[in-house]
Every structure is written in C-alpha cells, then in structure tokens.
Structure 1
Amino acid sequence: MAESVVGAVLGNVGSLAVQETRFLCGVTLEVTFLKDELMRLQGYLKDAESKRRSGNASVAILMCQIRDVAYEAENVIEAAEYLKKRNRLKKGFTGAISRYARLPADLTTLHKFGVEIQRVRRKLGEIFQSIERLKIDLYSHVVDESVEDYGLMHQNFQDDVLMVGFENEYIEIVDKLVHGADMLSVVSIVSMGGAGKTTLVRKVYTSSEVKKHFDALVWVTVSQKFKVIDLLKIIVKQIWSDEDQSRKIDDMKEYEVAKKILAILLLKRYLVVLDDVWETDTWEQLNRSIKAFPDAANGSRVLLTTRKKDVANHVEMPTHIHALKCLDEDESWELFRSKALPLYRSPGIRDMDALETLGRMLASKCDGLPLALVVLGGYLSKNLNRQAWSDVLLGWPSTKEMEMMRGIIARSYTDLPNHYLRSCFLYLASFPEDFTIPMSDIMSLWIAENFILPTPRHTLEETSLKYVTELVQRSLVQVVQTSDIHGWIEEVRIHDILRDWCIEEATHNGFLDVIDKTSIGQVGASPSHTLMSCRSSFQNSSERNLHTPPNLRALLGFGLSSVFFPELRFLRVLHVENSRIENFSNVIGGCIHLRKLTMRKCGDIMIPSIGKLLYLQTINLSETYPRTTKISGSLWDIPTLRYVRVPSRVPLPRSVQIPLNLRELHIHATKDEYGKDPMPILEMLPCLVVLELNGYHTTYTMSLGAQGFPRLQELKLEYCCIEWMMEVGTMPKLSCLSFLRCLLYQIPNGLLYLPSLRFVSVHYQEGVIDYWNDSTLKGLKQKGCEVTLREC
C-alpha cells in the first residue's frame, strides 16, 4: 500500500508546489525538494513490496515508515495551503484588515511548516539509508498499469451466467414456493460459502412466477451480526407503501414495528427471504416481541439460506431442506469458460484449443465451487496466454476448499492493473458484512483518498466506474442494482469470503482496521499485527469512546450507539450510518483536511460552520435531521464541492458563487425561496450531471436558458408547483426527467426538442393529470421516449 500512498501524495503535493509558490515563500523550495525525494522513493517501492510479500520483516517495517512519512508530508503542506484558502475568502476592506491582523501569526505558522518539512526530509534520508542496507533495487521495468476499458456493452451484470448448473434446482424451489399446502412453511437452502445460494435465491425472488403469486415480497440479509430491531425496520419499509413514513419508522420501538408488520402481512400472501442465516434462533428472535409473521393459511412462505444444516432444521414450522449440490465437471467447465473465455473476446484469442484444454483441467481443480470458478475465470480472462494458464495449473496448491479459495483471491488481487485499484478493492472491506454499497459512496471515498487520479479523457467519476467494472469483470465484486435508465452500476456488494480476505490483507499491511464489537475481539486484529492502520471502520459498537490512532485519515462507522469522537485532526473521510454521535459539532470543525462527510440516518445533529472545511468534496446528510434550521450559505464558498445532498435548508441568494466542480446536487427550498427561480444560478454549473429540487412553489415561471445545464443527465423535481419556459438548446444531454408529487400546470412543448430525453416519469396526485398537454405526451412517445404515469 505504500506505493499507492506515495503516488497519491505526489499528485497532491505536486499541484501544491506549483500553485502555492508565492504564498509559501521560502517554504516552496523545501516543498520542491520534498517532492523530488518522494518521486525518487516511488521508484523503489515495487521491489520493496515484493520483498515484503516474501516475508521480509525489516522491509515490512520500512514500508510502514514510508507510508507514515508520505502522509506527514501531505499533512504539513496541505495545512500550509489552508492558510491561503482561508485568507482568500476574506474579501473587501474588512477582509484586508483581517488578513493583515493575522499576518504575524501566519508567518510564524509558515515557519513551523518549514521546520516540519525539514523534519520529514530527515526521515526520508534515514529511509534511503535503509533502502541501501536492505539492497532494495530501483524498479526500472515499465509495466502498463492502465485499466482495460471494454465498455459496459459487453459486461453481463446479471446472474444468468452464475445460474449454470442450477436450472433444475431453480424450477424445484419455485414449485415449492408457489404450490403445496396453504399453511406457512419454510424452504431452506443449505450449502458451504461460495456455492451460489444467494445467486439462486435472488433469481427465484425476481422470477415473474413468484412476483405474480405473492402479494408482498421481502428480502433481508441477516448475516452473523444483526440487531432484531434493524431487521424488522428493513422489513416494514419494504411492505409499507407510504413513502412519508421513513422517519416515523426510525423512531418506533421493536414491539411497534413488529405489530405494524403483522397488521400488513395479515392481509397478504407474502414471501420473506432470510439470506445468510447463522444462528438457530433467528426466527424466534424476529418474533420475540410479537408474532410478526402470521400464518393466515393463504400459502405464505419463508425462504432461508444458511451454511449450517442445524439452522435449517431448527425452524419450528413445516420445512423443506434443499442441500445445494456442487457443480459437476461439465457444469464447472461451462461456468469457468463463460468468465475466462468470454464470447466478445474470442476473435482475438490465440491458442484457443490449448487454453480450452488447460481450462478444463483448471475448472476441475475448483471442486465444483462457483465462487472459485468465477474468480479464477475472471483472473485468467485478463491473462489470455498459454504460459499464464500453465503456471497457474503447475502451481496449484494441494489444500482444499477455503485455502484454495484464498489462494485464488490473492492471485487475482496481485494481478490487478495498478496499486490504486488494489487500494480501492481493499476499501470495500470497510463496509459491514453483506452490505449493499451505493456507487456514489464508493466513488466519493476513492476520490477523497486520492486513489482516482485525473486523466485527460475521463472525469474522476468515470475512472471510478472503470475501476468498479474491472472488479466486476474479475468477479471480485457483485452487481446488485443497475440503472434501468442509463445502465450504470448503482449498487454492489462483496462476498463474505472475499471480504474476510480483504480484512486480513488490509490489517496486515496497515491499510485498514475493522472493529466489530458484536464478535469476540476485533475483526482483523491479531498478535502479529505490527502496523498501525490509518483507517478504521467501527461496526455495531456500543463503546462510548472510540479509540483511534493519532494520525487517522478515515473513520467509518455503522450502527454506533451514543459515542464520542476522539480528536480527528488529520481526518479526510468521515462516513457514518445509523449511529448517534454526541460531540459531532465540536470535533468536525477542526478537521480542516476533510474531503468526505457522510452522516446517514444519524438522528439529530448540530451542524457546525461547514464553510471552514475548505477541501470538502462530498457532503451527504440524507435521512439525518440537523437541529439547526438551515446550513450556512458558507457551504457554497468551498471550491472543491462535487456532491451535495442535504435535507436541511441551504440558501441560494443571487450573489452566491456555487463551486463549478459540482456534479450532483440534491437540495430543498428554504421558506424564503419558495417563490424564487433557482434555475438562473444552477443552469450555469458546467459539470452538473444530477439535480434534485424539492419544495419550490414558485409563483413565477421557471426559466431554462438556451445554454443552460450543458451536462445535466438527470433532473428530479419533488413537491414543486411550477410553470416552465424552455429555450431551444437547453439541457442537451438530459436523458431522465422525473416529477414526484408536483403540481404541473403544463408540460412544456420544449421537452419535444431535448435531443437526449429517453425517460419521463410522473408520480401525480389525483386530478393533476388533467393539466397535461396530450399533444406533448403523444409527441414524446412518438420520438421513442418512455413515459410512465403513476398516481401517488
């Protein structure tokens, strides 16, 4: 990981060394020398990494020292730049007085920065001496580390390929669910990890026959660590159709949630999927406060997956246990071939006969385990030559099952095209087991950590998508959801076995610690753990005080109950979900390096002066309820903002200069702005791709200019009462337009002239549809636009 650390720091330090010449004065020369030494150091890192992996303890310590000194260099230079960023915001006469008043203190601080940089350089000198002593060579061989871009058109993101060998079992399980006795019963699927249980059940769950037969469908992933109240809330949100009840559900007690589930399911034939169950008493725990899942003698079913047969046998109701078989040799070869030798690459493959012969032997080595077959196939699909396949076969370990699986994962990880992508993959371990991870979270995390470097032809988000696609093609992550509109990947997950491997690898090299207090001890920590991690993920913790390293760069938290943050001076990432933080406002104001701030489902929090966070790229406060009436307009003073999602009121006065890098904006109107048109401000944002506006009740026309929204692809209006005026040429790339509970006096004819518009979705209230212009509606359909009308 030291290689990716130094590479990321170099990108940041390099730009600072150019941009801040006048400001840093004498410090600039020190910055230049520091950058040169970091670049020299990077040349040694590949050889050092190979020595570390071979078990050289001295090199492992050296790599830790390299990582730490690189981060120290970034911290001190970035803090120096912060002074200029802060002073630049103080404008006019008052600002000039403030800057001159601060000048003596700033000069003193700059001198301290210079001293700190010299100290870092001395550490680097000691590191170079260690490099010579350990005989680490300068790595001169140039390797193509670009990520292949086959495009999404060839990628199969569905489970069809993974269904190889399970066709008959799929038919049998569907039959057990939709036919048979009327009493409530269970179908349990049992097999070892990686055998394809979840894939099979998801295919059953989404089948047309099952959807048609059941009135209510519920999917909940249980996992090894779960809280009953959390699972019940997940269930009720899936079956309660009222979209306005989210916060009300969050405030409910366990008994209240269970009672609501019972009231809804009594009137329906339902299917409840309990995926990845580990404990024998899980069903009893879900029904402990009240019997939430009734037997109305209407053919309702429970579909359960588990690795343990005793879990399947324990459920006290009629149960059919289906032991999932391993694939035979022919099925194994078919699955392996679909991943290793994809049809879209066949024309360019040499030695196809030899590869097929080797491939059949390799497939037979995987013991019929689908996960092993697809991960190995994904790795070999990137190495389509006879020598690479022969080497894998000759070096095949004699171990079985999980050890075999670990070896395959390690090989695919090492083969990833560059060290940044390897860091991105390990980062997925920071999310809880079986967690569905939104792409927006992945992209903002990787970008905040400088793992996604700028390229001439792609935005940072586009490069992030390429990275995810690479991991999907290698079967290292699984796609959960794609956009029906754009085909983009929207959500992914990582298999438990792959996640466990990532945790061990990330902990071993000091990249990340995962601390889960519901298990015995700390996940990822071990007596041999010698490197202090610079990132921590706390999960299901009930501790009042979190213990973190002093130089922590990223803190992720899931299911934390009433905790206090430590001092987080160097924090760059704060991502917290479903938690209660007691001292949020006191701590966050001092995190001047912060790039990503996500507080999702965190109740009421006090919002500090966001404008102090001058490096902030992402702020996401969805389903969190700030106690302050609004977030200060100083938010718009932050020039680095890329993604904003805030449920509180953020003002847009006409004088505001919104950051030009902003790509996604979700915003509510303030009471003072109900009658104002925000479009003249927003349409000038050159990079905006997604816009969601809520609560604009304008009494004027909302105007869209001819040059407005040059890159906007998705526009969503919610609870808005508006009239539109559109000039020709506006929103040239808009493909998706959504109206949710809006009062629309007229759908403008201008929609017919949007060249990229493909989807229009309207969720209307009763009577509002009378305002629609039939000719516009017909015209949209005639031009091939998919129009969806649905009454709320």
Structure 2
Amino acid sequence: MAESAVSAVLGNLGNLAVRKTSFLCGVTHEVTFLKDELMRLQGYLKDADSKRRSGNASVAIFMSQIRDAAYEAENVIEAAEYMKKRSRIKKGFMGAISRYAHLPSDLTTLHKVGVEIRRVRRKLSEISQSADHLKIDFSSHVADEYLDDYGLMHQNCKDDVVMVGFENEYNEIVDKLVQAENMLSVVSIIAMGGAGKTTLARKLYTSSEVKQHFGALIWVTISQKFKVVDLLKEIVKQISTGDQSRKIDDMNECELGKKIHDILMQKRYLVVLDDVWETDTWEQLNRTIKAFPDAANCSRVLLTTRKEDVANHVEMPTHVHALKCLDEEKSWLLFSTKALPSYKRPDIRDLDMFEKLGGKLARKCNGLPLALAVLGGYLSKNLNTQAWSDVLSCWPSTKDTKMMRSIIARSYKDLPNHYLRSCMLYISAFPEDMIISVSVLINLWVAEGFIPDTPKCTLEETARKYVTELAQRSLVQVVKTSGVYGWILKIRIHDIIRDWCIEEATQDGFLDVTDETTRGKVGALSCHTLISYRSSFQNSSEHILHASPNLRALLAFGLSSVSFPELRFLRVIHVEDSSLQDFSNVIGRCIHLRHLWLRRCKNVMIPSSIGRLLYLQIIDLPKTYLLQSEISSSLWDISMLRYVDIPNISLPRSVQIQQNLRELHMRAAECEHGKDPMPILEMLPCLVVLDLAFYNLETMSFSAQGFPRLQELIFRNCSIKWRMEIGTMPKLFFLSFTRCRMDDEIPDGLLYLPSLRFISLRLRNVDKDYLNDSTLEGLKQKGCKVTESHM
C-alpha cells in the first residue's frame, strides 16, 4: 500500500537524517527537500486509491511509483545513518578518528548518498507532475483517525458471540462425542464456508465435558493440499510429553504413525480434523500404519467439511450433522449483539429505527454467521441511520461467497486509517488456519513501521488497540485472552477473509503468498506488473527461494533445506519449521534488519558480527537449534533492541549503550548458572518483561532503585533465594514461578511491592503447607490474586 509505505518512510526520516549532524552535513538539506516532496505526494494518495479500486491501471502504477521511490529514499538515507551509528561504537584509536573526522571512505559514501537522493527527488517530481494528467485530487486527503474505545476492548469480540444460535447443535454433538457406542466413530459437521463449522468445533474441543471425558485431545487443520508427514508430526507433538521436537522432525511417516498408535492405544482420545476437502484424507493419515487405533474405549473423530461426500466417506460408524443456516430470529440475535452491543445501546438515539433497518440487513445475510458478524461489526462503528440505509440500498445481488466478499471489502475500506489496513493485510501472510500469537504479530507490525506514534500510548499499546478493532469487527477471531491483563493473546483469521486479503494485497503489490501445496502463487494476479516488497513462502521444497532483490520482508513456513538469496534491504526475517542453509552469510549483510524471528529451525548459525545490525529491534529464536554454543555478546551493542529471546547468550558487561530493551527472555549460559544477573539487568530503564530460565543461585538480589518499569517477572526451572530492598520493582504487576524450587520461604519483601496484583506459583519439591505461609496470606489480604500448585 503506497499510503502506508510513504507514512512509514516519513516517520523513519523524521528519526534519521533530517536532524542536523556534522556527519550528514552534506546531505541534510537534500533530505529535508525529499521529505517535503513525499509529504506533498502523500496528499494525493487517498483519491488515487479510490481510483485504483475502480480499475484505473494508470493510477495503480502511479501509486506504486510513489511507493518505490519512498523505499529507495529510505534505503539510501538509512545506509548513511548506519555509518554514523557504526562510528559511535568503534573502540580505540580508529574509533576516535572516525568520530571526529571524515575518513575518505565515509566521504565517498556521503557523496553517493547525495547523488542518490537527488535522483530520487527528480523521480518524485516527475511522479508529481503525472498526478495532474491523471486528474488526481490533492484536496481529498483526510487525516487518519485514532481509535478511542480501547477500554471496551473485550466486550464485543469473543467467539461466544458468534456461537449465538448454535446451542442446540452444540448439545447434540456433545452427546454424540461422550456417549453412544464404545467403538471408534466419527462425527462430521458439514456446512458451507462462513457457516460456523470451525467455531462450533473449537467450542466443543475446549468444553469442560469434552476435556473431562477424553484423555488426549488433538486438533489439526487440513488445508486443501496437505502433506501427510507434516500432519502426523503435528499430532505427535501434541500428544507427546516433554520437548521432543528435534527427534520428531527426523521421523518418517511410518515411524510417526506407529508412535501415534502406541500413545493413543493407552488413552481415550478425540482427534479433530478441521476443514477437510478430500474424501481420502482419513485413509492417507493411516496409509502406512493404522495411526488411530480402535481400543473400544469410546474414542472419537470430529470432522468438519464443506463437502457432503467427504462427511459420508469415512469407513467407520459416522454421525453426519448438517449445520443449518441461522433462522430469522437467531440471525437477528447474532447481528444485534455485534451491531448494537449492550454497552452502546444506552447512548443510541432512534434505537427503534436502527432495529428496523438492522432486521432487514440481518435477513439479507441468509443466515450465515460470518456475514452477520462482519457486517454487524462494521455497522457498530457507523451508528447513523443514513449509513445503515446506504448499506441496505446498495446490497449486492449475489449470494453466499460473493456476498461475503462484498461485506469484507466494505468493512476493510471502513477501517479508520491506512496503518490498520496494512496491519489487516499483513495477517494473510500466515498459513491458512494458523493460530497467530498477538505478541509476535505486534513485533512484526512495529518492525514494518505500521504502528504510528500516538499521544500517550506506546507502540505496543497502539498495536493492541488495532488487534481489538479488528476483533470487534469480526475480521479476526479471538482464540485466547489473558487472564491477567484481559487483552487478546491469540487470534486466527477465517479462510474466506484471508483469501480476500491475499487478493487485495497481491493486486496492490503489498504482499505475495507462495504455497507449494496450492501449486504456486495464492491470490488474483494484478492487471499490471508491480514489485512486491513482502513475500510469504509456505510448504516449499525449493532449494533457493525466488524473491525480488528489493524485498523488505520475508516470511517462510515449513521450508525444507533452503538457501536465501542475497537480500540487502530486508527489514523482516520471520521463519518457522524450516531447515536453513548458509544463513549466517546472508544475515550478516542485512544492515537494515529490524526483526529476526526463527522458530523450530535447524542448521542456524548466528554470526559473530550480529552486533553490526544496528537497526535490529527483535531477535527471537524459540525452539531453534543453534550450531554454536553461545551467541556473541556484541548483540548488546545494538541500542535499538526492544525484544530479546534467545537460548544461549552471556549477560551484557554493562548497560551504558542498551537503553531501549523492553522485553528480555534468557536462559542461563553454561558459565553463568551461579551468577546473579540482577545487578546488571535491574539497571535497564525501559525493561517491562523479564523471563529467566535455569538460574541456580544462592542469592538473587533486588536493590531499592532496580527495575523502574518492570511489570512482569517470570522464572522457569530456577532454584533461588531472594534478597529484596524496599523500593525495588515499583511497577511489578505479575510474578510467576514455573517448575521452580525455593529453599527459603516466599520472600516477605513481596508485601512491599505496591503494584503487585497476580502471582502464579507452580513449585517443585515443596509441600502444600509451605505454600500457605504468612507472606502469601498477607498478599491475598492486600488484594493480590495468588494461584498455587505443586509438582
């Protein structure tokens, strides 16, 4: 999206070279002129976007040219600023020389920067002239809106709302799952897309009746084209105890099937196969060995599908439940819950008129829950009768999927600003039906520049408002919320909405999605050739990924033994479940990199030069197998780091440079199990979350001035004694101990933490009486919620 691209670049220019420094004295004025030109062009973009949507190919090219030029400008200016940052951290004699004098290499680079900026300025001037020929209106620019109902974030965005109307179906299917015959049988839910199959299945899967009845619960989503071995690996990981990811990844199909069989033979199990497309899916899962045994213990299979022949094909006792569309009464109940929520009703004038119009609109949705929820979410943000009347008068003549797409488009265009629209499209980069961590998504949005600075809000707070806005509009579905903070932790996106977003992103050159199981590109082809600056590769076995050399974001899921091409301008690397080749050689040259996230990846070597990536904000390596025993401590030289989660790194020697770190997850390095990390970590002024694992200490000390902003403190597999001074951790809100051993009593210093409200204790080697000591009782009396268990 050109608008978000220009806004992000302007924001970065404001933080980079536009400030006057001696280092950039030769190009400062050029940068200022460049910024002014971009701001002027930004005024054309809203009108240009409406013309692009109407099918004007010339305008689409105009917008892509603005975006291309903006990104070129950012690349060249950031490269110059990088030189300045490097000179600040150089040590010794040469460091002093570079800080106070321009070396010949620096002067050459600055000259090139000036030449490049003048070239981009000329390019922008030519683009600006073309706006007049295309009759694009400059005056149509409208300021973006801020979101103002954050405090009501979870009153209208839970899946319980979408469950309206399915109470009878829910009870009927629960009975079929937990009662009836002893032999293995299947319950199939069949309905068209958007009818609520997955929502109902997930509600059943998480119900107390089901959890109490079955000893093992398995959920796998079946894409249109799937790999049997990947599904079997996912199932083994769900039913295995402990972290055996590396061993499981090396198993073949037969070994996986036997392991599943052996584990499930001892248990009553429920396996959910969500969104099955082919009649032989069950046979494929059992083709090498019967993975799902029939132990005559009331085990069950729950299957959802859009196809009747799939529902009837499984060769075992089958109960087919055809999910009906909602009747008029239930349609209105769901629609009104979303469009006219209870917390807004007291302030609505002419409520009777809204209900009259709403009843007509609800009937237009033909009983489809997804259509009712998305339309209701859109109208709840537009509470004026004229807007509702306009929707009714412009209702499309098409039905079902085409009608659904029209509703999605309307809700998307109504989003308050282009930042939020970019965030919405970005979600489609994740694989179909994936449950997405909101914290991971927020880090991606921030790295991409999609989260603007807003008054009195951190970037993370603004991003959480965006997630809430999307959930309230039913554009994403809430999977999990925080019991401590109340905010949304995990989401998913309906495949119909995801498909629409991919097509929109493809047509705009915002994102390419390549999925080998669907045989190539996903989404409609553009009517013109656009450079895509973001690519998502899924389930690929290609040895080398094919991507534009100007790529800014690379997301990859399930890649087998691949090498990345050299991509100099990458801002984002996000990879899951993949084996990487020559990774350290590529990453070392990505000086613009903001976000490095590798989950369950193999053959990963983090280069010792990691400290040179001076724009890096996020480095997160969960369950990734590193080829080295320890990460270079040069990482701590990066002043822009905001989030660190890596398995093997030594503590920083000091915190003089690192000033921006907000979240830190650390496992004790081999040489540091007995070293107290607190004297260093407590001096980090911006730290909000600290998660420590495998620290075994005689004493852990918290000084009076330590951790001024810390809100969450988490210990995992630690053995510690505490010494606390009054005044430490004044903002600590949540404290957690998991699989920890505490040889002393719970420290009474916790009573003096003014903001502490939640404590989670899952201790080992302690008895129940120990947990109920006087400190915990005192905390409870102060209003602190304490959850306790022993292992």
Interval containing the TM-score (normalised by the shorter chain)? over 0.9
Measure, in 2, the Cα distance between the counterparts of 1:109 and 1:399: 58
Q: Is 1:47 aligned to 2:47, yes or no?
A: yes
Choose which of 726, 729, 732 in structure 2 pairs with 1:728: 726
Using the TM superposition, give the Cα deviation of residue 527 of structure 1 relative to its aligned residue in structure 2, in angstroms: 6.4
Distance 1:717 1:769, change over 3 A: farther
CA distance in 2, matches of 1:167, 1:670: 52
Distance in 1 (alpha carbons) for counterparts of 2:73 and 2:207:
55
**1:619 corresponds to which letter in structure 2?**
I
Q: 2:248 aligns to what?
A: 249
Q: Is the 8 A contact 2:760 2:787 kept in 1?
A: yes
* Cα distance in 1, alignment partners of residues 372 and 164 from structure 2: 11
Higher deviation after alignment, 720-729 or 759-768: 759-768
The secondary structure found in structure 2 opposite 1:744 is coil
Aligned AA (1:9): V
What is the match of residue 187 of structure 2? Answer: 187
Residue identity in the other structure for 1:84: K
Q: Which amino acid aligns with 1:732?
A: P
Closer, same or farther: CA 131–265 of 1 in aligned 2, 3 Å: same
Alpha-carbon distance in structure 2 between the residues aligned to 1:168 and 1:738: 40
Q: Which residue of 2 aligns with 1:490?
A: 489
Partner-residue secondary structure (3-state), 2:5: helix
2 CA distance for matches of 1:157 and 1:133? 45
Q: Partners in 2 of 1:784 and 1:164 — Cα distance?
A: 35
- Return the offset for 1:48: 1.3
Amino acid in structure 2 at the alignment position of 1:121: R
For residue 702 of structure 1, what is the aligned residue in structure 2? 700
Contact 2:741–2:765 (CA under 8 A) maintained in structure 1: no
Give 5+ residue unaligned stretches, structure 2.
Answer: none
- Tell me the residue number matched to 1:645: 645
Q: Residue in 1 aligned with 2:93? A: 93
Matched residues in 2 for 1:521 and 1:386: separation? 45
The answer to which of 649-658 and 273-282 deviates more is: 649-658
Structure 1 residues 594 and 299: CA distance shift in structure 2, 3 A? same
1: distance between equivalents of 2:700 and 2:753?
17
For residues 658 and 761 of structure 1, do their structure 2 counterparts lie closer, same or farther at Cα, with a shift above 3 Å needed? farther
- Cα drift, residue 64 of structure 1: 0.9
Partner of 1:220 in structure 2? 220
How far has the Cα of 1:148 moved from its partner? 2.9
Distance 1:236 1:781 in 2: 41
2:635 alignment counterpart: 635
Q: Name 1:206's counterpart in structure 2.
A: 206
In structure 2, what is the equivalent of residue 755 of structure 1? Answer: 754
For the residues of structure 1 that align with 2:33 and 2:436, how far apart are their CA atoms? 41
Distance in 1 separating the partners of 2:754 and 2:14: 41
CA distances 1:433-459 after superposition (whole Å, capped 9, x unpaired): 001111122111111111101123000
Deviation at 1:158, TM superposition (A): 2.9
Secondary structure, counterpart of 2:563 in structure 1: coil
Relative contact order, CA 8 A, sep 6+: which one is greater?
A: 2
Task: State the shift of 1:252 in Å.
Answer: 3.2
Q: CA deviation at 1:745?
A: 1.4
Alignment-mate amino acid for residue 253 of structure 1: N
Cα distance in 2, alignment partners of residues 410 and 397 from structure 1: 12
CA distance in 1, matches of 2:17, 2:347: 45
Identity of aligned residues (%): 72
Shift in Å, 1:95: 2.0
Give 1:103's aligned residue: 103
Structure 2 counterpart of 1:346:
345
Distance 1:756 1:253, change over 3 A: farther
- SS of the equivalent of 1:337 reads helix
C-alpha contact (below 8 Å) 1:569/1:591 kept by paired residues: yes
Aligned partner of 2:470 in structure 1 is 471
Write out per-residue CA displacement over residues 23-64 of structure 1, whole angstroms, 9 at most, x where no aligned residue: 111111100110111111111111111211122111111111
CA distance in 2: counterparts of 1:552 and 1:96, whole angstroms = 35
CA distance in structure 2 between the aligned counterparts of 1:443 and 1:682, rounded to whole angstroms? 24
Distance 1:387 1:527, change over 3 A: closer
Q: Say whether 1:713 aligns with 2:708.
A: no
Cα distance change, pair 680–785 in 1 and its aligned pair in 2 (3 A): same
Q: TM-score, normalised by structure 2?
A: 0.97
C-alpha displacement of 1:360: 0.6
TM-align CA RMSD: 1.8
Supply the distance in 2 between the matched residues of 1:665 and 1:688 (Cα, whole angstroms). 8
**Structure 2 residue identity aligned to 1:159:** D
Match of 1:331 in 2: 330
Number of equivalenced pairs: 789
Name the counterpart of 2:58. 58
Whether the 8 Å contact between 2:57 and 2:527 is mirrored in structure 1 is no
Once the two structures are superposed, residues 691-746 of structure 1 have per-residue CA deviations (whole angstroms, 9 ceiling, x without a partner) of 111122223x2111222222222211122221101112222332322222322112
Output aligned runs, 1:15-94, within 5 Å. Answer: 15-94=15-94
TM-score of the two chains, using structure 1 as the length reference = 0.97
C-alpha separation between the residues in 1 aligned to 2:522 and 2:214? 39
Using the alignment, how far apart are the partners of 1:144 and 1:500 within structure 2?
26
**SS across alignment from 2:291:** coil
Which stretch has the larger CA shift, 680-689 or 591-600?
Answer: 680-689
Per-residue deviation, 1:766: 3.5
* Change over 3 Å in CA distance of 1:588–1:474 after alignment to 2: same
User: What residue identity is the alignment partner of 1:442?
Assistant: L
Cross-structure match for 2:172 = 172
Superposed counterparts of 1:380-419, under 5 Å: 380-419=379-418
Give the Å deviation of 1:281. 1.6
User: Which stretch shifts more, 746-755 or 387-396?
Assistant: 746-755
Deviation at 1:99, TM superposition (A): 6.0
The aligned amino acid for 1:725 is: R
Question: In 2, are the aligned partners of 1:513 and 1:525 still within 8 Å (CA)?
Answer: no
Matched with 2:313 is 314
Give yes or no for contact 1:694–1:719 (8 Å, CA) kept in 2. Answer: yes
Structure 1, gaps ≥5 residues long: none
Map of 1:442 onto structure 2: 441
Which one-letter code corresponds to 1:286 in the other structure? L
Rounded to whole Å, the distance in 2 between the matches of 1:642 and 1:244 is 28
Contact map agreement 1:46 1:139 (CA 8 A) in 2: no
Tell me, in whole angstroms, the C-alpha distance in 2 between the residues paired with 1:531 and 1:94.
45
Q: 1:250 to 1:619 in 2, by over 3 A?
A: same
Q: Given that residues 588 and 610 in structure 2 are in contact (C-alpha distance below 8 angstroms), is that contact kept between their aligned partners in structure 1?
A: yes
> How many Å separate the matches in 2 of 1:787 and 1:254?
45
Query: Cα 1:11–1:143, aligned 2, differ >3 Å: closer, same or farther?
Result: closer
> Which secondary structure does the structure 1 equivalent of 2:425 belong to?
helix
Residue 692 (structure 2) aligns with:
693
Matched-pair contact (CA < 8 Å) for 1:601–1:623 = yes
Structure 1 residues 188-587: aligned runs within 5 Å? 188-240=188-240, 242-524=241-523, 526=525, 528-587=527-586
Aligned pair in 2 of structure 1 residues 30, 98: CA closer, same or farther (>3 Å)? closer
Contact 2:17 2:28 in 1 (8 A): yes
**Which letter maps to 2:201?**
V
Q: Distance in 1 between matches of 2:310 and 2:243?
A: 37
Q: What amino acid is aligned across from residue 13 of structure 2 in structure 1?
A: V
Change (3 A) 1:141 1:597: closer
CA displacement at 1:155 relative to structure 2 = 2.3
The answer on whether the counterparts of 2:654 and 2:680 sit within 8 Å (CA) in structure 1 is: no
- Name the CA distance, whole Å, in 1 between partners of 2:249 and 2:736: 27
Please give the secondary structure, in 1, of the residue aligned with 2:395. coil
Residue type of the alignment partner of 2:217: L
Please say which of residues 198-207 and 106-115 is displaced more in the overlay. 198-207
DSSP 3-state at the match of 1:279 = coil
Paired residue for 2:618? 618
Deviates more, 1:318-327 or 1:290-299: 290-299
**Residue 287 to residue 145, structure 1, CA distance change in 2 (3 Å):** same
| Cα distance per residue 1:552-573 (max 9 Å; x no partner) | 1111000111111111011101
Q: Residues 146-168 of structure 1: CA distance to partner in whole angstroms, max 9, x if unpaired?
A: 22324145524432211121111
Cα separation, partners in 2 of 1:734 and 1:527, compared to 1, 3 Å: closer
Deviations 1:635-678 (Å, cap 9, x if unpaired)? 1111111111101x211144354622211111111222222111
- What is the DSSP-based 3-state SS (H/G/I as helix, E as strand, rest coil) of the residue aligned with 1:518? helix
- The one-character-per-residue Cα deviations of 1:745-779 (angstroms, maximum 9, x if unpaired) are 12211122223333322333345778667222333
Q: Which moved more, 1:70-79 or 1:150-159?
A: 150-159
Q: Distance in 1 between matches of 2:181 and 2:374?
A: 40
Alignment partners' CA distance in 1, 2:324 and 2:524:
35
Deviations 1:394-439 (A, max 9, x none): 1111111111111111111111000111011000010000011111
